[in-house]
Amino acid sequence: MNAQDETVMRLLHYFITKKNYNPIILHGIQNEIWLENLNEEYRVIRIVSNHIHNNEQMNFDMFKTKRISKQIKGKTLTLSLNMLNIYTDLSENVDLTEYDNKGMKCIKVENTNDFKKYSEIAGIELLNVEADPKKGMDLFVKLSSDISKKTEKDAIESEKIFKLKKPTITYALIAINIIVFILMYILGNGPDGYTLIKFGANNSSLVKDYDEYYRLVSAIFLHASLIHLFFNMYALYIIGPQLESFYGKIKFLIIYLLGGIIGNLFANIFEANTIGVGASGAIFALFGALLYFGYHYRVYLGGVIKNQILPIIIFNLLLGFIYTGISSAAHIGGLIGGAILSMAVGVPNKSDNVEKTNGKIITLILLGFLIWFSIFK
């Protein structure tokens, strides 16, 4: 390897294996490597090995880079995208200080001796492999092997998360809802007001004045009509298997049930003295969980979240404001609760202990606030 090849390989080795950056696939881009880690100060690292010999070429390079970064922002739902541009073949005629601005930093790294000049790459260790021509292949094999192992490990972890597992909890929840709906006809008069109350519909007065707290849970499994049941179960059938695979069965069940309870508490505060039934609050909690998961994996799911999930959520929220009989408060409460509960249980391979602890604290504060205002105030 020549000096430039070694420099690029060491940079890749450092950012991929030590700083957990991942390559960004960009079609039509040559002599550049783009890396992303949305949890780092510099969310995108760009390594440029193409020769740039004057300011005119540099201006065009910056124009092209900013255009691509805007596309990445849109795909990853990111408002701010700090980028570090590393140039390994830059003419002395180009002054990089002219191109440093908010969100964009440019540095020149021609060989390994330049690593210590910049704090962003000062942590690169010069591995114990000689870089003379005879040992160049040993160095290449060592660096390439480390990068390949890290990439393979990341691929296995991603496959484990995104691989669809058998959604037993989702199917069990659907079955329970259907069985309860049938029992309302067998043991009552169908989904009329009296039967719904008898089976545990949510009502702020009954919960607060008669201590019937079970209604916050039982109401999640009741539905006011066959159409009501069908639409909620269809939504659960569509979104449930994905979330159950992403979070695991126990965490999925926690988000569903606690999210539904939070939705019902919201309804008791903002829509007092109404009869509330339905799984929609819990289903909106799953939407909130999907948004939170998608935010952490927005490199993979940013387009899906923006083009599919957000429009569905907004559309359903608008329906609640337009038509009577739909609990907008339960929907909003479930959506908020699902996002916060997702923080508490953690996103696989993304959330650290600090984030999960903060999520648990916020969840307890929210539940305490809702219980106080809906039951004790």
280 is catalytic: yes
Residue located via tokens 């900013």: 66
Strand 44-48 vs strand 83-87: parallel, antiparallel, or unpaired?
A: parallel
Q: Report the candidate in 250, 251, 240, 228 with the shortest Cα–Cα distance to residue 178.
A: 228
Residue 214 to residues 199, 202, 252, 338, 369: CA-CA distances in angstroms?
A: 11, 9, 21, 20, 19
Written as one letter, the residue type at 93 is N
Choice among 69, 204, 280, 351 that is catalytic: 280
Q: Which two tokens stand for residue 19?
A: 């700083």
Choice among 13, 331, 342, 374 that is catalytic: 331
CA distance 368 to 144: 53
Question: What percent of the residues of the chain are helix, what percent strand, and what percent coil, each to the nearest 5?
Answer: 65, 5, 30
13 is catalytic: no
Helix (H/G/I), strand (E/B), else coil: 3: helix
What are φ and ψ of residue 276, in 5° steps? -115, 125
The DSSP result for 306-338, as a single string, is: IIIIHHHHHHHHHHHHHSTT--HHHHHHHHHHH
Would you tell me how many other CB atoms lie within 10 Å of the CB of residue 84?
21
Q: Report the candidate in 292, 252, 291 with the shortest Cα–Cα distance to residue 168.
A: 252
The DSSP result for 96-113, as a single string, is: GGGG-BTTEEEEE--SGG
Q: Which two tokens stand for residue 315?
A: 């559309």
Helix (H/G/I), strand (E/B), else coil: 34: strand
CA distance 370 to 174: 28
Q: What angle do CA 24, 25, 26 make, to 5 degrees?
A: 110
Q: Which residues are marked as active site?
A: 280, 331
